Amino acid sequence: SQTIHQWPATLVQPVGSPLSLECTVEGTSNPNLYWYRQAAGRGLQLLFYSVGIGQISSEVPQNLSASRPQDRQFILSSKKLLLSDSGFYLCAWSDGLAGTGELFFGEGSRLTVL
Amino acid sequence: SQKIEQNSEALNIQEGKTATLTCNYTNYSPAYLQWYRQDPGRGPVFLLLIRENEKEKRKERLKVTFDTTLKQSLFHITASQPADSATYLCALEIGDKIIFGKGTRLHILP
């Protein structure tokens, strides 16, 4: 069966520090991969998505970046965090061939920038 | 740009009654629409998908309708229970993207 792992689960970072969140999927091939952010009082905002290795689409211009170095690995990064980067970050995958777009989410990473 | 609105930020329903949540969208004609449940501190969990050519879909106590003319989906939970309390999100596919509404926090009162 397919599983998705996301880490770290929580982190507290100072403003201006770098960030790396990692997500891996097991049990499937060539998944579509997504990074969402959920800030307090706001909805689920799509940040990046990828339909294949090295293919990254950005939805929101900001100081974050994403990379997909392997088929089932998706990394969210920042060189310098801002206070506004605080939030609950969720990685998700879908079967690109299934045509339904059903998303399977990881457990999330809660980031607090101080 | 595409816009998704869920009519209520929060909704209180008495146990045993039917809860009805609304999702409206503009500027797009999706091939399908999805509903998810999210519990505090957790990732959303997929519940139901309804395609543009389907009027209604059911799963146990859940029912979803899809009106492409009104650009609206309704999500019903019948015989609601306190365990149904959660945030419910509707989502649209736009090409390879899935975008979400802000969600409705549903409280089932015992």
Question: DSSP of A22-68, one letter per residue?
Answer: EEEEES-SS-EEEEEEE-TTS-EEEEEEEEETTEEEESS-SSEEEEE
Hey, are the CB atoms on B36 and A103 less than 8 Å from each other? yes
Q: How far apart are the first and last CA of chain A?
A: 39
Whether the Cβ atoms of residue B34 and residue B103 lie closer than 8 Å to each other:
no
Q: What is the pLDDT of residues B1-12, one digit of tens each?
A: 668 999 788 999
Q: What is the pLDDT along chain A (114 residues), one digit of tens a residue?
A: 889 999 999 999 999 999 999 999 999 989 999 999 998 777 899 999 999 998 999 988 678 999 999 999 999 999 999 999 999 999 999 987 776 779 999 999 999 999
Task: Report d(CA B8, CA A48) in Å as an integer.
Answer: 27
Q: How far is A82 from chain B (nearest CA, A)?
A: 22
Which stretches of chain B score pLDDT less than 50? none
Whether the Cβ atoms of residue A88 and residue A108 lie closer than 8 Å to each other:
yes
Hey, are the CB atoms on A108 and B99 less than 8 Å from each other? no
Whether the Cβ atoms of residue A86 and residue A112 lie closer than 8 Å to each other:
yes
